Amino acid sequence: MHAVNGDVDRYGSTGAPLVILVHGAVANRKTWLPAARELSARFEVWCPDLPGHGSRRSENFTLAGALEAVGSLVAQACPRRAIVAGDSLGGYVALALAARDPEGIAGVVAGGCTWSMAGTGGALARASDVPVALLTRVVGRDRMLRASESLVALVASPDVAREIVSAGLRLESRSESLRELAGLDLVALVREIRVPVAFVNGRYDWPTRAGERALLRAASDASLAISPRCGHGVGLLDAPFFARTIEALSART
């Protein structure tokens, strides 16, 4: 089953164990198509658009808005408890929600987000946006957007790439998300989480991987899965691996 309800895609059988998939910056809910196909035989899967993305790209991204968007879906699922899984920006959102508003969350899968946004790490992350902003100013937003769409076509199958591009990319959300995550102490956040957490990274995702050990030490119940096939963006680039990590976490909840 595949149903679209406003800014949320729904897959699988109603009433099955629930997984909520949260996408990364610039992208949209369609990036989860490959993973949702992997999961839909066993789970009910909900894929929302975050503020500032996809069907909501007329808005600005805010962390508060993202937490409200995902948290409202968790509340809708009551009395079921949901696994909340995110990649990149979506991973930070999933971890923040589990720390700040854990009711209804059975576990978290956090991909590509083991880089703390506090201190030097956050400053470096925000600095990385400077050359992107300069390049956008030089070549123009339309060309940068077309380049992003071409990149999607390189890394996704033709049908998935068409869905992602059709749903809309928004370049500005990268800067907005970095500003919103500024100062986020990921280690302190993870210490507050009392449900199982599975961190997922691509083997080549540096410097994101630099924070893995600190987060594993901080968590009360955590595991780490490394995809050997890719760098950043395991949810799209190695969807079967990401799906297996969700299935493994489900067995722990």
Q: Where are the beta strands (DSSP E) in the chain?
A: 2-5, 8-11, 18-22, 44-48, 82-87, 105-111, 197-202, 222-227
Question: 207-245 pLDDT, tens per residue?
Answer: 999 999 999 999 999 999 999 999 999 999 999 999 999
Task: Please give the single-letter amino acid code of residue 4.
Answer: V
Rounded CA-CA distance 39/242 in Å is: 10
What's the half-sphere exposure (Cβ side, CA atoms, 13 Å) at 67?
Answer: 15
Phi/psi of residue 2, nearest 5 degrees: -135, 120
pLDDT band at 118 (very low <50, low <70, confident <90, very high): confident
Rounded CA-CA distance 131/148 in Å is: 15
What DSSP designation does 42 have?
Answer: T
The radius of gyration of the chain from alpha carbons, rounded to an integer in Å, stands at 17
Domain boundaries, the chain: 2-252
Rounded CA-CA distance 189/191 in Å is: 5
What DSSP designation does 21 have?
Answer: E
173, two tokens: 């959300």
Rounded CA-CA distance 24/93 in Å is: 9
Tokens 């070549």 appear where?
A: 139
Using CA atoms, how far residue 152 sits from 148, 161, 203, 227, in Å, is: 6, 6, 20, 20
Question: 49-82 pLDDT, tens per residue?
Answer: 999 999 999 999 999 999 999 999 999 999 999 9
pLDDT band at 113 (very low <50, low <70, confident <90, very high): very high
Overall average pLDDT of the 1-11 stretch: 76
pTM of the complete model = 0.95
Rounded CA-CA distance 99/113 in Å is: 15
The fourth-level CATH superfamily of domain 2-252 is Alpha/Beta hydrolase fold, catalytic domain (3.40.50.1820)
